[in-house]
Amino acid sequence: MRNKYIIIRKTWYNHTMIRIGLKLAFRDHYDNTVATGVLKYARKKMDWEINGEGHWFNNKATGLDALIARIETEEEKERYEKLNIPVIDIAGAISSDKFSTVRNDDWDTGVKCGIYLYKLRPKDYAMALVSNTSWARERMIGFCSGAVLNSERLNTFSRPLDWWQMLYNEATQELENWLLSLKQGTALFCCNDLCAMKISVACRKLKIHIPSDLMILGVDNEEILCTLAKPTISSMQLQLETIGYTAAKVVDEILMGKEEASKIIYRIPPLNVIERQSTSMIDDESSMVLLATSLIKMNLSSAFSVTELVERLPCSRRTLEIKFRAEKGISLHDYIIEEKLNKANQMLLTTAYSIKVISSECGFGSLQRFHSAFLKRYKVTPAKYRVQNRIREIKI
């Protein structure tokens, strides 16, 4: 059956353009970075015209051939369902069988955040959520899986998005009471950086020390927000530009008849945690371990060994090994391999470098050693991992 959305294309010099709507508020890092990805793809299409509302655009978003939108309310959903054009949702907050969806893999985001916090060996776990959103719930379910938690026992605090957006609103008594009820040494997973920032403000007022009393991890890695906080906030980095680029690619495929509208969902995996002060445990006893981890991360591109590491530190190998295992729960050698594999993982998902180049950049010494270490950890070869995880596609 012919796709009803196929556009009869004429060359750009005849002034017949395909009008692609971009319905974003441009109020945060998410919108701006997704838009960057859309525009990168659009630059390849000489017959595309990007339309939107706001001071960056000259045209109103009317008379469109397709729409890329951040759909977050039932009212928006109903309005866009009536347009009778291909609509690509990049939020995943409201479900509709009339839209295609390109969004972050929220379950995987929660899993990776859970694994990260689990390794910090907290005394307890808690989570702050945006209420009535499917993406926040998916992150919670994934988080419980990654941290090996029973979701029914997870201590949570949930409020609507507009409540979290009022960062410095003083009407936060319920939040403050909840924070004071948490066990000292709790790891708090915030479903986005906005929640993390508001909680950071409340903790300063309550004199709750971060990270010794409460470790905080956000999502989105909104750099200005995360570094504005005191202390700075650790956050999971998402592939927002890839979301925008893929959304534009899906639009193109639908208009060319390669895909049926509303029949495809893309879930883009997150990258990794950008560690800042809110989860970095620093004290006199762990200063040697901290220095060791810093040196390891600075030398991931070389064949950096435990022997070379010890030569740069004012302590014996045995002393460092004991302190490191007590602090991190892992041997120095295994930690070095783990960090190299983390770097390789990120390069596989975000670059087009060959496996051989990635192996060299991650300091494995030989391609065989890289394959062996990667296969042992991920149960799959680097090449297959790249294919399976760069974009998770679900056809329905």
Which H, E and C letters describe 180-217, residue by residue? HHCCCCEEEEECCHHHHHHHHHHHHHHCCCCCCCEEEE
pLDDT of residue 10: 38
The model's pLDDT over 355-385, given as tens digits with 9 standing for 90+, comes to 998 998 898 888 999 999 999 999 999 999 8
pLDDT of residue 146: 93
Distance between CA 336 and CA 303 in Å, rounded?
Answer: 10
Tokens representing 152 are 């029914």
pLDDT of residue 23: 87
Instruction: Classify 207 in phi/psi space as left (phi over 0), alpha (psi -120 to 50) or beta.
Output: left
For the chain, what percent of residues have pLDDT higher than 70? Answer: 89
Given a cut of 80, is residue 264 above it in pLDDT?
A: no
Distance between CA 183 and CA 214 in Å, rounded?
Answer: 8
pLDDT of residue 28: 77
Given a cut of 80, is residue 9 above it in pLDDT?
A: no
The model's pLDDT over 100-137, given as tens digits with 9 standing for 90+, comes to 889 999 999 999 999 999 988 899 999 999 998 889 99
Q: Which of 238, 193, 231 is nearest to 215 (CA)?
A: 231
Number of C-beta neighbours around residue 294 at 10 A: 10
Give 390's pLDDT tier (boundaries 50, 70, 90).
low
Tokens representing 277 are 């002060």
Give 3's pLDDT tier (boundaries 50, 70, 90).
low
Mean pLDDT of 42-57: 76
The model's pLDDT over 167-200, given as tens digits with 9 standing for 90+, comes to 887 778 999 999 999 999 999 999 999 999 999 9
For the chain, what percent of residues have pLDDT higher than 90? Answer: 40
CATH number, span 12-103+240-268: 3.40.50.2300
Question: Right CATH number for 287-391 from 1.10.10.60, 3.40.50.1220, 1.10.630.10, 3.40.50.261?
Answer: 1.10.10.60
Distance between CA 101 and CA 21 in Å, rounded?
Answer: 15
Residues of the chain with CATH 3.40.50.2300: 12-103+240-268, 106-237+273-279
* Residue partners of 343: CB distance under 8 A and separation at least 6: 300, 361, 362
**Architecture of the 106-237+273-279 domain:** 3-Layer(aba) Sandwich (3.40)
